[in-house]
């Protein structure tokens, strides 16, 4: 009897990759806070999650195959420019450092939560296999 990782791990297997990519996008915003004409970006998390789930349904992750999907490309499809909350400072840059730092920290906490949930799921599967 095969284990269905989609059923066993739930949504957390998808959220982990998306949150890692979102951290890259947010850190890019922070790094470019002083770059003229740089426009802040963010990941549409729900759209990226939906894309990841729809791409994965019905596919096995047993062997290396052309059916495997690239999480990075799925996230890149859902990176959007953020609507600025502050008026233009004259250089065209739309990065608000407080907003970026808050979003980065929130994303990091949610990444850690997803890791914790996955760890618990794997612990439960190990117990079931061992018969504890």
Q: Is 32 left (phi over 0), alpha (psi -120 to 50) or beta?
A: alpha
Q: Which pLDDT score, from 0 to 100, does residue 88 have?
A: 73
Tell me the C-alpha distance between 123 and 113, whole Å. 15
Quote the pTM value.
0.74
Q: What is the pLDDT of residue 105?
A: 97
pLDDT at residue 68, rounded to an integer = 53
Looking at residue 65, its pLDDT comes to 61
Tens-level pLDDT at each residue, the chain (132 residues): 566 666 767 677 788 889 999 999 999 999 999 999 999 999 988 888 887 777 665 554 444 565 555 555 556 778 888 888 877 778 989 999 999 999 999 999 999 999 998 888 888 888 888 887
What's the pLDDT at 26?
Answer: 96
What pLDDT does residue 54 have? 74
Q: What angle do CA 95, 115, 4 make, to 5 degrees?
A: 125
């Amino acid at each position: 009897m095969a284990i269905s990782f989609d059923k066993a791990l739930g949504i957390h297997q998808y959220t982990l990759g998306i949150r890692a990519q979102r951290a890259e996008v947010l850190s890019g915003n922070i790094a470019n806070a002083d770059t003229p004409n740089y426009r802040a970006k963010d990941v549409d998390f729900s759209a990226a999650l939906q894309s990841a789930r729809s791409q994965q349904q019905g596919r096995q992750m047993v062997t290396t195959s052309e059916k495997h999907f690239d999480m990075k490309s799925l996230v890149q499809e859902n990176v959007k420019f953020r609507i600025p909350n502050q008026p233009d400072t004259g250089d065209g840059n739309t990065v608000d450092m407080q907003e970026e730092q808050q979003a980065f920290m929130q994303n990091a906490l949610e990444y850690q939560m997803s890791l914790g949930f996955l760890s618990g799921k794997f612990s439960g599967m190990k117990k079931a296999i061992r018969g504890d």
